[in-house]
């Protein structure tokens, strides 16, 4: 039986091989050209990703980091994040976070946005996080693109602006309230002192009986109580006036260490009542004098120390530090007390906000302190975690930096 005639029979085997290899060569050239185009596109994409001013991460569905841009390593101080879980690097955890925006994006298959607070090398940062699902042909998310924008400074400015508006509003209210209270308070105090001056005359005109003596003792006690309460109300009114716009306070050259030690002497009796509280003062030598108002700064320091004593509740430590850093004079007080709940941290310096029970505080203290330090062109900062103590830091400018 004759075999069918093939192309090889007609033109020869060698020629066919030459044609085949020629075709292979053409295809290889096309592949190489395509590969060069892909490499150029990849370099272009890498240049684009590298130029993005936000941290960029690509994650798998199980939270594994697949790829990052260069900024990631700069921000999170991690040289080789690939292959690690995101929660290991971001939160130092061994399991996913309960409020994770990546989990929400995976569940909903939609873009998720959230503001997250992260601690990086003992510094607190806030990021606006956007998680975008990368879908396959079946519209199912198999990767997640995470963009993280550092908004720490922006949030700080927003917080300061918001607080300034609150203080301005409360200041206008406080000035009016203080004025309205001061008028009747002055009358009450004045008439009570008048009665106090007349008590000896009344005592002479009364018969020297046991009943009259008891009556005089009651009158004396009542009048003393009224005057004491008037003084207390006057202090509260003075605290309200701290919120209101007022004339520039006279500043003089002050030795801050002397003010701190003076406050400690004032609180000596309270320290004796709390023998289980260890109190230390670490002050650098040759701290420059500051420009300020001694009475107001004493009020701030007194308030901060009393708050720390309340926080340790009779047992713990208070460490006071006074030092100079660059062009700033810094006083800080650290305690190992109950700490501050993160949920109320933003309200801490709000007027009339207090965590103390009814009757033990009206929330003027820290707000007043904040306002005083602001008028001294300084800052009052707090760092705390619940049940881990707190650190309050008062930062004042070097006298050479104070504006005239």
Please give the residue that has the higher pLDDT: either 24 or 157.
157
Q: Which pLDDT score is estimated for 362?
A: 42
Phi-psi region of 339 (alpha: psi -120 to 50; beta: other; left: phi over 0): left
**pLDDT of 394 over the 90 cut:** yes
Contact 298, 289 (CB under 8 A): no
Q: Where are the alpha helices (DSSP H) in 77-151?
A: 86-90, 101-108
130 bridge partner residues: 113, 147
Least confident stretch, 32-41, 144-153, 214-223: 32-41
Q: Which pLDDT score is estimated for 18?
A: 53
Q: Which pLDDT score is estimated for 48?
A: 63
The residue among 183, 164, 224, 177 whose CA lies nearest residue 362 is 177
Distance of alpha carbon 313 from alpha carbon 272, whole angstroms:
14
**pLDDT of 359 over the 50 cut:** no
pLDDT in tens, 82-117: 888 888 888 888 888 877 888 888 888 889 998 888
Mean pLDDT of 161-176: 68
343 bridge partner residues: none
Contact 145, 132 (CB under 8 A): yes
The residue among 310, 304, 299, 296 whose CA lies nearest residue 360 is 310
**pLDDT of 370 over the 80 cut:** yes
pLDDT in tens, 306-345: 889 988 988 899 999 999 988 899 999 999 988 888 777 7
**Percent of the chain scoring above 70 in pLDDT:** 79
Q: What are phi and psi of 135, to 5 degrees?
A: -100, 150
Mean pLDDT of 189-202: 87
What are the angstrom distances between the C-alpha of 335 and each of 271, 332, 392?
14, 10, 9
Please give the residue that has the higher pLDDT: either 14 or 170.
170
Of 1-5, 52-56, 72-76, 378-382, the range with the highest mean pLDDT is: 378-382
Q: Which pLDDT score is estimated for 353?
A: 65
What is the distance in angstroms between the CA of the first residue and the CA of the last residue of the chain?
Answer: 117
pLDDT band with cut points at 50, 70 and 90 for residue 404: very low
Angle at 36 between CA 31 and CA 37, to 5 degrees: 95
pLDDT in tens, 315-326: 899 999 999 988
Contact 346, 159 (CB under 8 A): yes
Q: Which pLDDT score is estimated for 230?
A: 84
Q: Which pLDDT score is estimated for 256?
A: 93
pLDDT in tens, 146-168: 998 888 888 777 777 776 666 66
Domains, the chain, ordered by start:
50-150 (3.30.450.20), 156-241 (1.10.287), 252-401 (3.30.565.10)
Least confident stretch, 22-36, 105-119, 214-228, 350-364: 350-364
Q: What is the pTM of this model?
A: 0.49
Mean pLDDT of 277-299: 89
Mean pLDDT, the chain, as a whole number? Answer: 80
């Amino acid at each position: 039986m004759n075999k069918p005639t093939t192309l090889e029979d007609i033109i020869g085997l060698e020629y066919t091989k030459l044609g085949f290899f020629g075709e292979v060569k053409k295809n290889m050239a096309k592949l190489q050209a395509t590969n060069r185009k892909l490499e150029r596109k990849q370099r272009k994409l890498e240049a684009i990703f590298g130029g993005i001013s936000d941290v960029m991460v690509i994650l798998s569905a199980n939270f594994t980091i697949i790829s990052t841009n260069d900024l990631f390593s700069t921000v999170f101080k991690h040289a080789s994040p690939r292959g690690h879980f995101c929660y290991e690097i971001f939160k130092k955890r061994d399991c996913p976070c309960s409020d994770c925006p990546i989990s929400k994006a995976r569940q909903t298959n939609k873009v998720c946005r959230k503001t997250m607070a992260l601690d990086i090398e003992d510094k607190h940062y806030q990021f606006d996080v956007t998680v975008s699902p990368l879908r396959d042909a079946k519209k199912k998310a198999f990767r997640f693109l995470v963009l993280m924008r550092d908004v720490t400074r922006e949030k700080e400015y927003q917080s300061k602006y918001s607080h300034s508006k609150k203080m301005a509003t409360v200041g206008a209210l406080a000035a009016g309230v203080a004025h309205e209270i001061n008028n009747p308070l002055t009358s009450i105090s004045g008439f009570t002192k008048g009665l106090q001056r007349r008590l000896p005359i009344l005592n002479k005109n009364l018969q020297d009986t046991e009943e009259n003596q008891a009556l005089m003792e009651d009158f004396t006690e009542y009048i003393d109580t009224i005057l004491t309460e008037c003084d207390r109300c006057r202090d509260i009114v003075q605290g309200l006036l701290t919120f209101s716009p007022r004339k520039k306070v006279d500043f003089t050259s002050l030795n801050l260490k002397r003010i701190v030690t003076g406050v400690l002497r004032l609180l000596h009796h309270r320290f004796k009542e709390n023998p289980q509280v260890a109190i230390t003062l670490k002050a650098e030598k040759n701290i420059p004098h500051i420009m300020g108002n001694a009475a107001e700064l004493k009020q701030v320091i007194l308030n901060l120390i009393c708050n720390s004593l309340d926080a340790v509740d009779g047992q713990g430590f208070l460490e006071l530090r006074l030092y100079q850093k660059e062009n700033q004079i810094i006083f800080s007080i650290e305690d190992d007390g109950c700490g501050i709940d993160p949920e109320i941290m933003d309200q801490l310096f709000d007027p009339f906000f207090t965590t103390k029970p009814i009757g033990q505080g009206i929330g003027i203290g820290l707000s007043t302190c904040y306002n005083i330090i602001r008028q001294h062109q300084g800052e009052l900062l707090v760092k705390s975690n619940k049940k881990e103590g707190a650190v309050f830091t008062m930062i004042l400018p070097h006298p050479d930096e104070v504006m005239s």
